[in-house]
Structure 1
Amino acid sequence: MPNTNIDAIEPVASSNLVANSNIKIATFNLFNYLEPPFAFYDFEKILSSEQWQKKQKWIVDYLVEFEPDVIGFQEVFSPEPLKQLVQEQGYPYFYVVDQAEVFDDFICKSPVVAIASKYEITEINAVQADPKLVQAMGLSNDFSFSRKVLRASIDLPHIGICDCYVVHFKSKRSLIEHEQSTELSPEKNIIEKLKAQVIGGWGSSVQRGSEAALLFTEMISQREQTGRPMILMGDFNNTLQDGVLTHLLTNTLRFASAFDVNAYLEKYCLNDAWDLFQSTDNDTQHIDRKPTHYYGATGSVLDYILLSSEFDANYQTSLFEVSGYDTYDRHLINPIFERDGESTDHGVVLVTLSLRA
């Protein structure tokens, strides 16, 4: 399997990129991006050469049509082929901060996140949770993000260095599974399955919510030190309206003076790009937000791009506003096998940031 350590994935020399008044940011779950002959999770799950080329073409077709400037990827098993693909499409900067696990020589698990950019990435890091906060939350001392969070500092036009975070929070898959036992009665098996689902499901929620809270506090600390704008993008594996993740949009404080709140708080808050788009374009008020994932017939928004105040048109000193918001989902709602057979099970979210006049 290709070496996926970040040290082995250096950017090629950057061409002279012309700064313009629009910047496009996308978050893109690639759904088991793994080059054959490696397998994902199970020895039978190997893409054929034809399937792999089809998947590669699908990704290229999206990049050519929508032309994002910065892309946060999830579910990356094979970073080297992805690096080559994006560089051929005009993205000289590509990084990961982790590598997938390999067992039995060719079976892979634990895919990672990645970032590609047309603009210079000046610094790259894996975000570390604050041990003191981990302890204060009552979590295990060996707590870690289920997937390492990537922070890339990108030199964007007009606004300068911006800290972009790419995440893939813990899934809703239960931490505990009960296997059917012939030694137990049917009722006892149901009871054990119920227990596993309740406890295991809540355990996943605790992990996911803890990851979001610890990441947000690290973002606040980074913002305090550098003053840089912030972008958080990725597969959240949860809706923001769910109480597990609502703290990512915290914009009020209890027991703090109104003067201090008005003077300082907004600088450290994140905003859902969809909400910012709705607030700046009256013609979109009636448009419903498209789901980015479907479980059976039920759709939900799991993929998000959150932005700091520099991208909020209602913020007095903001430089950009959200002028466009697109969820690419035709492969989910009207798939054509020849075109979409090896695509992804998520919609691709893209926001357009426009320089304010």
Structure 2
Amino acid sequence: MSTSSNATNNVYEPLNSQKQFKIATFNLFNYLAPPDAFYDFDRIYSAEQWQKKQRWISAYLEEHQPDIIGFQEVFSIESLQALVADSGYQHFAVVDQPTVIDDFIYRDPVVALASKFPIVDVSSVPVDSDLVLQLGLTAEFDFSRQVVRATVEFPHLGLCDCYVVHFKSKRAAWQAEPEALTSLEGKVIEQFKAQVAGGWASSIQRGSEATLLMMQMVERRAKTGNAMLLMGDFNNPLQDGILAHLVTDKLLFNNDQQQQQLMQFYALRDAWDLYQSHHALTSEQTLKRSPTHYFGQGSSVLDYILLSSEFDPKAQSNFFAVSEYVNTDKHLINPSFDIDGESTDHAVVSIGLTLRE
């Protein structure tokens, strides 16, 4: 677990002259400096490929200039920290290390957060062992990737707990071994069973991670009153029942208006929905959400930024409105190999926040 700062002292003044700022979530896609390999011994960037990847990230930061960024798929932590520092990010947080096999093969990438605003505290998010058992999980259950919680000092708002996640992928939890079977039908059945059962096992892991995280966020909110921001690669659309509870905003079968109103303090909102509401005030144009990931002939939104009531103009405790939502995806839908050849397989999502007068 670590946090670092290039600031000259530990006394920070809130940047209350800044009335607008940006948040981004960025899946870096196998960010590992050569000569190390990701997953297999021969998956190594050449020096030219690595330089191209580094340039692409720096160009994004220069063009969009987010103030806070949540990163996923980080293998080379020190390289990323140095890269973002050159772009003005004095504060950096990470809570885990990737797994290294045979001294140079890396697995299990981690998440990180870079910020131009002061980070005053950094922690991983533990799982509630009692709740784990209540959910019917094994006592050894843990997040597939440790969650970063960085408490950041926001302009005007004060402290905000920023969570960076990379939930379990949809890749099946186990693979079939049809080589041991001789009949064609037997091989097909084994692969089908592994696809269905292994895929559901991954869904259970992903949904359980979201549930356990949400409960920790609620408890933290009750204890500190800090604003909340959750961002990352969810590996699942929010509308799917697997993760829909992350944006639960009502108590079921409860007609007490005071309790329902209090619930809003603990609920998270999808930044896209807040942006749509803001946009509707000034334009009649209908907005369409763009995918953040493409696979085969399909596409989906997997990358999200969720916000607490301080960023919802309809809430009594609001400070900021989501005034901008940018889905940077040219490298996916109209790539230029010379520029985008080593970029990322996800869109980069950023939002603009504007202080409400």
Using structure 2 for the length normalisation, give the TM-score: 0.96
Pair 1:10 & 2:8 matched: no
Structure 2 match to 1:346:
346
Q: Is the 8 A contact 1:278 1:285 kept in 2?
A: no
Pair 1:337 & 2:337 matched: yes
Aligned mate of 1:106, from 104, 129, 140: 104
Runs of 4+ that moved beyond 6 A: none
Deviations 1:66-86 (A, max 9, x none): 000000000000010100011
Deviations 1:210-237 (A, max 9, x none): 0000000100000000001000000000
Q: Is the 8 A contact 1:70 1:117 kept in 2?
A: yes
Matched residue of 2:4: which SS? coil
Matches for 1:68-79 after TM superposition, within 5 Å: 68-79=66-77
RMSD, aligned CA: 1.4
Matches for 1:28-47 after TM superposition, within 5 Å: 28-47=26-45
Q: Is the 8 A contact 2:181 2:187 kept in 1?
A: no
Matches for 1:86-105 after TM superposition, within 5 Å: 86-105=84-103
Matched residue of 1:192: which SS? helix
Matches for 1:104-143 after TM superposition, within 5 Å: 104-143=102-141
Relative to structure 2, which stretch is displaced further, 178-187 or 144-153? 178-187
Pair 1:313 & 2:313 matched: yes
Unpaired runs of 5+ residues, structure 1, are 1-5
**How far, CA to CA, are the matches of 2:322 and 2:15 in structure 1?**
20
Q: Which amino acid aligns with 1:148?
A: Q
Q: Which amino acid aligns with 1:344?
A: T
**How far, CA to CA, are the matches of 1:92 and 1:254 in structure 2?**
44
Q: Which amino acid aligns with 1:208?
A: R
Q: Which amino acid aligns with 2:97?
A: Q
Deviations 1:178-237 (A, max 9, x none): 123264200001011111111100000000000000000100000000001000000000
Counting matched residue pairs gives 351
Q: Is the 8 A contact 2:250 2:260 kept in 1?
A: no
Structure 2 match to 1:3:
none
Q: Which amino acid aligns with 1:309?
A: S
Matches for 1:1-357 after TM superposition, within 5 Å: 6-7=1-2, 10-13=4-7, 18-19=15-16, 20-181=18-179, 183-282=181-280, 283=283, 285-357=285-357
In percent, how many aligned pairs have the same letter?
55
**How far, CA to CA, are the matches of 1:92 and 1:17 in structure 2?**
15
Q: Is the 8 A contact 2:14 2:154 kept in 1?
A: no
**How far, CA to CA, are the matches of 2:86 and 2:8 in structure 1?**
13
**How far, CA to CA, are the matches of 1:127 and 1:182 in structure 2?**
41
Q: Which amino acid aligns with 2:328?
A: Y
Relative to structure 2, which stretch is displaced further, 267-276 or 314-323? 314-323
Provide closer, same or farther for how the CA distance between residues 21 and 145 of structure 1 changes in structure 2, counting only shifts above 3 A.
same
Unpaired runs of 5+ residues, structure 2, are none
Q: Which amino acid aligns with 1:56?
A: Q
Q: Which amino acid aligns with 2:323?
A: S
Alpha-carbon shift at residue 314 of structure 1 (Å) = 1.1
**How far, CA to CA, are the matches of 1:161 and 1:17 in structure 2?**
10
Provide closer, same or farther for how the CA distance between residues 255 and 142 of structure 1 changes in structure 2, counting only shifts above 3 A.
same
Matched residue of 1:243: which SS? coil
**How far, CA to CA, are the matches of 2:327 and 2:40 in structure 1?**
31
Provide closer, same or farther for how the CA distance between residues 284 and 91 of structure 1 changes in structure 2, counting only shifts above 3 A.
farther
Q: Is the 8 A contact 1:17 1:118 kept in 2?
A: no
**How far, CA to CA, are the matches of 1:175 and 1:262 in structure 2?**
38
**How far, CA to CA, are the matches of 2:356 and 2:189 in structure 1?**
59
**How far, CA to CA, are the matches of 1:350 and 1:142 in structure 2?**
35
**How far, CA to CA, are the matches of 1:285 and 1:91 in structure 2?**
36
**How far, CA to CA, are the matches of 1:57 and 1:308 in structure 2?**
34
**How far, CA to CA, are the matches of 1:228 and 1:87 in structure 2?**
27
Q: Is the 8 A contact 1:278 1:284 kept in 2?
A: no
Matched residue of 1:10: which SS? strand
Alpha-carbon shift at residue 17 of structure 1 (Å) = 7.8
Q: Which amino acid aligns with 2:189?
A: I
Matched residue of 1:344: which SS? coil
Alpha-carbon shift at residue 259 of structure 1 (Å) = 2.5
Deviations 1:34-72 (A, max 9, x none): 000000001110001111111000000000000000000
Provide closer, same or farther for how the CA distance between residues 14 and 320 of structure 1 changes in structure 2, counting only shifts above 3 A.
farther
Q: Is the 8 A contact 1:36 1:46 kept in 2?
A: yes
Q: Which amino acid aligns with 1:13?
A: A
Q: Is the 8 A contact 2:15 2:154 kept in 1?
A: no
